[in-house]
Structure 1
Amino acid sequence: MRKTISILGCGWLGAELGKKLMSKGYIVKGSTGTAGRYNELEFSGIQPFYIRIKPESVVIDYFSFFNTDVLVIAIPPKRVENISDIFPGQMGQIIKLIRQLKIPKVLFISSTSVYEATNSVVREGEEGNTEKPSGQAILKAEKMLQEEEGLQTTIVRFGGLIGANRNPARFLAGKQNIPGNVPVNLIHRIDCVNIMTDIIEKDIWGEVLNAVSPEHPTKKEFYTKASEVTELPAPGFVETPVKYKIVNSDKLIQRLGYTFKYPSPMDYLKELQEWAYRI
């Protein structure tokens, strides 16, 4: 019998995962909160569902979305006031449905924002006291899933996402006085999708895994090159020291036997440059 995967939050990342899983024979359901995305999912072959998760309730068209073998939760916290309460509230609503419909396995898409900037390498279990409200909210959500009795949860903490139609240069184009000697923690969407697929196919549960390209160029190196390749105004960098972190992905590489397609974010920029030369 074919397995069913439900992706809660089928956006820029979740939809690509859905397409990859469908190519491998899985039945894929995807949720969205917008009409435009609903039609896109339907056109791609992903079974679309309208779902909006609120801290106090769930707005949903069909509860059959939650009849699944694996639930992928890919809804990042929004940048709003009181997010450290709102996002855990949303997770509480999701957990009620997980419990009610007896979903056995969850893949939670987390973020490296859970780590404190300690001017050092950080690994799973070394979260510290993150200063970001989004990181605090995600840590609370992680803990809620991990503590749910009878639920097998794997948490993947992705770095900053690059790839596809996301031009990294536009985030800093023309900005000035940016501290440049800070290592970046980035990952390409293709690696994200491959990693999530591996976890599902290899039945890797009960883990917390960092997922960031193993090489960490400085912000100045990466964004200067990104601006050059895409012909956007280059940012202006300064030598002002600021706190940083280098997120280590060795555990993921060993646990999955994974080889990154883009071991360095600079590999993606080389690809962009080669593509530009061909057109």
Structure 2
Amino acid sequence: MKILILGCGWLAESFAIHMKNRGHEVWASTTTSEKYHRLKADGIFSFILDFDCESFPENADLPDQFDFVLNSIPASQKNSLTVIENRFSNIKLFFDHITWGKQVFLSSIGIYPDKDAVFDESYADTAELSSKLLFAEECMLGLTHTIVYRLGGLFGKNRVFAKYFSERICTTGEQRANFVHIDDVVRLVEEASCRVLKHTIYNVVAPLHPKKMDVILASAKKHGYALPLAFEAEDVTQKIVSGKLLQEELGYQFISPDPLQF
């Protein structure tokens, strides 16, 4: 299989190496020379491209046909809508120059509002969905053969939840964890590359939702981080995002179903 990765960040790089080790041909874009050379050293066909300032790289030596595309270009909340509109317009221009069998676009469960509710993929109140993430999803879904994965909070390897609260005050400890381990995301993206899925949008979230406070305590103990200075329950919103649709459709057994074990 010939695979293209757009935006080879932390998760996408793990996927790239995983698929390369399985014998697939992997191409990946990056914005930095450092990562370009690192990917090359790992046997990935890398190229430098910044979708915020360029469209299709006319001089890049790229194939024009791919079996699978993992699109990991973010629609970050820190960016203005104007920046995001330009970014995804350039991505669409890029796609004009290639053909592909299937694309998975990585979005976020941050698209759902922060309120007491259980959210699944049927939630469609556009007035409450994040306008930036919704724009990016709709832009990509306008392309053929595209599936959106809305990822939960992504942890695993060197990304440990307790690290972000070490010797700090935690005000969100009573919230429920809507997390997912990187190993499961890599496997679920691989599943999407070779399976026919029935829907176009899926939440990718571990099935268990312990309190964030308990995750912090467990991961601090496991990985040796100092505890928060205090837990102050300023935000007790009980938002839960369900990933049952994808799990049940694939009959998937999570490698790490419980964030307490991350």
TM-score (norm 1): 0.85
Contact 2:75/2:136, CA 8 A, preserved across alignment: no
CA distance, structure 1, for counterparts of residue 153 and residue 201 of structure 2? 17
Give the C-alpha shift of residue 127 in structure 1. Answer: 4.9
Per the alignment, residue 107 of structure 2 pairs with 110
Give the C-alpha shift of residue 124 in structure 1. Answer: 0.3
Structure richer in helix, relative to its length: 1
The question of 1:142 aligning with 2:137 is answered: yes
CA distance, structure 1, for counterparts of residue 158 and residue 63 of structure 2? 28
Q: Which amino acid aligns with 2:116?
A: N
Any unmatched runs of 5+ in structure 2? Answer: none
The question of 1:256 aligning with 2:250 is answered: yes
Instruction: Provide Cα deviations, 1:48-77, integer angstroms capped at 9, x if missing partner.
Output: 1111101x6337451616532222111223
Contact 1:71/1:105, CA 8 A, preserved across alignment: yes
Q: Give secondary structure in 2 for the equivalent of 1:95.
A: helix
Per the alignment, residue 67 of structure 1 pairs with 65
Q: How many residues align?
A: 260
Q: Which amino acid aligns with 2:50?
A: R
TM-score (norm 2): 0.90
Shift in CA distance, 88/255, structure 1 to aligned 2, threshold 3 Å: farther
Percent of residue pairs identical: 25
Shift in CA distance, 177/17, structure 1 to aligned 2, threshold 3 Å: closer
Q: Give secondary structure in 1 for the equivalent of 2:140.
A: helix
Shift in CA distance, 104/97, structure 1 to aligned 2, threshold 3 Å: farther
Give the C-alpha shift of residue 167 in structure 1. Answer: 2.4
Per the alignment, residue 170 of structure 1 pairs with 163
The question of 1:44 aligning with 2:42 is answered: yes
CA distance, structure 2, for counterparts of residue 263 and residue 66 of structure 1? 38
Q: Give secondary structure in 2 for the equivalent of 1:69.
A: strand
Instruction: Single out whichever of 137-146 and 94-103 deviates more from structure 2.
Output: 94-103
Instruction: Provide Cα deviations, 1:98-136, integer angstroms capped at 9, x if missing partner.
Output: 13333342110111000112311100021546878xx43
The question of 1:181 aligning with 2:174 is answered: yes
Contact 1:116/1:127, CA 8 A, preserved across alignment: no
The question of 1:246 aligning with 2:240 is answered: yes
Per the alignment, residue 119 of structure 2 pairs with 122
Instruction: Provide Cα deviations, 1:166-207, integer angstroms capped at 9, x if missing partner.
Output: 122111112215132110111111001000000101143752
Contact 2:219/2:261, CA 8 A, preserved across alignment: no
Contact 2:102/2:193, CA 8 A, preserved across alignment: no
Per the alignment, residue 14 of structure 2 pairs with 16
Q: Which amino acid aligns with 1:197?
A: E
Per the alignment, residue 274 of structure 1 pairs with none
Contact 1:159/1:187, CA 8 A, preserved across alignment: yes
CA distance, structure 1, for counterparts of residue 261 and residue 188 of structure 2? 18
CA distance, structure 2, for counterparts of residue 89 and residue 256 of structure 1? 35
Shift in CA distance, 179/15, structure 1 to aligned 2, threshold 3 Å: closer
Shift in CA distance, 127/154, structure 1 to aligned 2, threshold 3 Å: same
Per the alignment, residue 7 of structure 1 pairs with 5
Q: Give secondary structure in 1 for the equivalent of 2:96.
A: helix
CA distance, structure 1, for counterparts of residue 113 and residue 207 of structure 2? 19
Q: Which amino acid aligns with 1:21?
A: M
CA distance, structure 1, for counterparts of residue 195 and residue 65 of structure 2? 21
Q: Give secondary structure in 2 for the equivalent of 1:64.
A: coil
Contact 2:77/2:132, CA 8 A, preserved across alignment: no
Instruction: Single out whichever of 170-179 and 153-162 deviates more from structure 2.
Output: 170-179
* Deviation beyond 6 Å, 4+ runs, structure 1: none
Shift in CA distance, 33/205, structure 1 to aligned 2, threshold 3 Å: farther
Contact 1:49/1:65, CA 8 A, preserved across alignment: no
Instruction: Provide Cα deviations, 1:138-180, integer angstroms capped at 9, x if missing partner.
Output: 21111112233xx110110111111111122111112215132
Shift in CA distance, 142/66, structure 1 to aligned 2, threshold 3 Å: farther
Contact 1:152/1:205, CA 8 A, preserved across alignment: no
